[in-house]
Chains A and B, each alone.
Chain A
Amino acid sequence: MAFVQDAPKDSFRLSMLIYDTRYRSLTIQVVVLILFMLFLSWLLNNTIQNLAAKDRTFDFGFLLSRAGYDINQRLVEYTNDSTHARAAFIGLLNTLLSAVVGCILATIIGVVVGVLRLSNNWLVSRLMTVYVEMFRNVPVLLWILLAATILSETTPNPRDFRVTPEMQAAGEAPKATMLFGIIAVTNRGTDIPEPKFCVGKPREECDADPNEGGLGIIDLGIFKVSLNLLALLVVFGGSIFATRRLKRQADATQDATGVRPVTWWKNLLILVLPSAALLWALGLHFVVPELKGFNFAGGITVLHSFTALTLALALYTAAFIAEIVRAGIMAISRGQSEAAAALGLRPARTMRLVILPQALRVIIPPLISQYLNLTKNTSLAIAVSYMDLRGTLGGITLNQTGKELECMLLMMGIYLTISLIISSCMNIFNRAVRLKER
């Protein structure tokens, strides 16, 4: 056996930087890094020059100055004396509110439509197809604009609810009445009853107090914490914990005896009773909106800009979700339900034990990316002037202060953070449920 011995011993040559697989990627990466750094410094340099040329500075100090404008929907306290930072925070909360409500609505509508599209009812499945195609193929902006227009064009003016003495005398009914006597849908928004708490005081006194009464609130400086809510959360958390326990017990009983005890009414009681008792103790009552002056007062006003944006986004996204749900259920082969049926499982149980756990794996990843889209699309609030993050930080604040660079960067950073949080949730989920394969 002739042994070939011309193998070159490893001594470093320059050409190895390009031809040696070990160094090659290093070389490329170094080159890329240099190019990237050059690009970055070019951008930075330009920015500095431009700022200098315009005699501007780059600082976020303006965030702490007085905003001076009002925001019509605020989840936490805000007046026009608050700072720009607080205005941005209000905007962020509004964005999140719209996104969360939108996602929940979209999921509900989407799942219902997706399932109905699969139904063997010809009419219903056709209607759902029409719905899905209509919404998918028209820009979401149009749906937002249309929703806003419909809401404000087809609903009555607050004045129409008014009963004047003359009308009373003539026995005329007002042009519009409140739904169930407690909800008023006007062309500005929907007025719903506001929950108020009251402990140890006459009700009138509580109602006169703009704060929510009950246990009161703790002022932490930047924001306030409602003790009522806190108490409620604690109690409800406890209830949930108790139902968990109950479920575990039921599981154990089933494991031991084979028969699963009936628990739904116990669950219901545990969930409802303690919270209800607490609410009663706190003196929960609802202040029904009343027409006062130009508008309804006393309740909570859900602005139409919020409703239009959220509803349109939910309907639009639901069309996509419906397709995802349909595809997810169809992806589970007929064989699975047949096998379950052959084993004697009833359809409802088959759905719960066999079809859903599998379909969810298929459905959830694209579902979450739809959530992401919806969240990003809330920035279209601009079309209906809902005061979201873009409306406050990227809108009025930017306009009043002229700090485009700072406002835009901050806004992008916030959106990016939200997106990254959502998508990392998705990744965790994906990793958790991946099917084991060979």
Chain B
Amino acid sequence: ATLDDVKGRGELICGVNTGLTGFGAPDANGNYQGFDVAMCKALAAAVLGDASKVKYIPTTGETRFTALASGEVDVLVRNSTWTFMRDVDLKFDFVAVNYYDGQGFMVKKDLGVSSAKELDGATVCIQTGTTTELNLADFFKANNMSYTPVTVADDSEGQRQYLAGACDAYTTDASGLAASRASMPDAENHIILPEIISKEPLGPLVRHGDNQWGDVVRWTYYALVAAEEYGVNKANIEEVASTTQNPEVKRLLGVEGELGEKLGLDKEWAKRAIAAVGNYGEIFEANIGSGTPIGLARGLNALWTQGGLQYAPPFR
């Protein structure tokens, strides 16, 4: 089973993006950073007790699913959309949704367009190898509009083409659009159109059939969400662990109960994960939140208590 493999190996192999700003990319020293990467780190901390015991395998749109299917990676955290076909036909398990995204459009302000419905006849830049091209086709068809797709291989290429004016609109997940916009010298000249034309639940996925490993990934993720719900964060985790009276938090942090053992891990798995990368909110803020150049609002990804969709099932 994968869990045993990971433990035996002493290293978690995590499939990530070859480079997507804010979500996963190596920095000048070769250290991977980003929202998706933090998930890998949390997992490593939970399973192996050390957040740095991760090997990152950059995967492209074409190679990602094969890498997971062939066992080259243990888990794929690479902003992949959860779809029926991928889940059922390609035989993967999407264990959770760590980012609710949707496909949007970015256009230059001076184009004078304020709605995606006005894009009839436009040239649209779009990444290949994703679900976006299907959504795009469907959207234009549904609105009885025509368009010219300009397919691009990766985000940086898409941004380049868009900036150069090779397309009128750039479409990808709204988070990606925001990241791109943030890095532009004249961010104020670009707007993201209000229409979100698709649901893009992004999340980590594992191979079908290895339910134990799937559970580990799923609950590690929910531990991070739950931590936010209960106000547990990197800074106060030790203090909370020793003082909390909330039985659920106790169970979460391994003070009480044996949730960890049930997963095949130890008591403090979730505590380690939270201590290593912080809770969901912290991860969000550190990598893509409004404090970063990317500046994404929480939106759908706020906790359910704050009008979002992030919701951790009970730890019991």
Contact = CB atoms under 8 A, between A and B. Distances in A.
Contact of B148 (A295, A391, A398): A295
B90 A402 contact: yes
Contacts of B128: 385, 391, 395-396, 399
A303 B150 CA distance: 9
B65 interface: yes
Given A387-B151, A395-B62, A402-B90, A295 B122 contact: yes
Contacts of A303: 150
B246 interface: no
A152 B121 contact: no
B186 interface: no
B229 interface: no
B91 A55 contact: yes
A234 B148 CA distance: 35
Given A54-B69, A69-B137, A385-B151, A294 B168 contact: yes
Nearest to B62: A399
Interface in A253-273: none
Given A54-B91, A153-B164, A294-B168, A68 B151 contact: no
Given A385-B128, A391-B128, A152 B153 contact: no
Interface in B114-147: 119-123, 128-130, 133-134, 136-138, 141, 147
B89 interface: yes
A423 interface: no
A304 interface: yes
Contacts of A293: 120-122
B129 A399 contact: yes
A385 B127 CA distance: 9
A72 B151 contact: yes
Give the interface size class of chain A: 35 or more
Contacts, number: 94
B160 interface: yes
A301 B89 CA distance: 38
Instruction: Identify which of B151, B157, B160 gathers the most chain A CB atoms within 10 Å of its CB.
Output: B151
A293 B91 CA distance: 44
Given A54-B69, A54-B91, A152-B161, A385 B152 contact: yes
A292 B157 CA distance: 27
B13 to A, nearest CB: 19
B134 A157 contact: no
A297 interface: yes
B161 A396 contact: no
A406 interface: no
Contacts of B149: 69-72
A383 B128 CA distance: 11
B61 interface: yes
B120 A400 contact: no
A396 B62 CA distance: 9
Contacts of A177: none
A391 B151 contact: yes
Given A383-B153, A385-B150, A385-B151, A69 B133 contact: yes
B111 to A, nearest CB: 8
Given A55-B91, A385-B128, A294 B153 contact: no
A80 B135 CA distance: 11
B300 interface: no
A229 to B, nearest CB: 25
B299 interface: no
Interface of A: 54-56, 68-72, 80, 149, 152-153, 157, 159, 187-188, 292-295, 297, 301, 303-305, 382-383, 385, 387, 391, 395-396, 398-400, 402, 404
11 contacts: A54-B91, A55-B91, A55-B208, A70-B137, A159-B165, A187-B165, A293-B121, A294-B168, A303-B150, A399-B61, A400-B134
Nearest 7 A-B pairs (CB), nearest first?
A385-B151, A157-B165, A293-B121, A152-B164, A80-B137, A152-B166, A294-B122
Interface of B: 61-62, 65-66, 69, 85-86, 89-91, 111, 119-123, 128-130, 133-134, 136-138, 141, 147-153, 157, 160-161, 164-168, 208
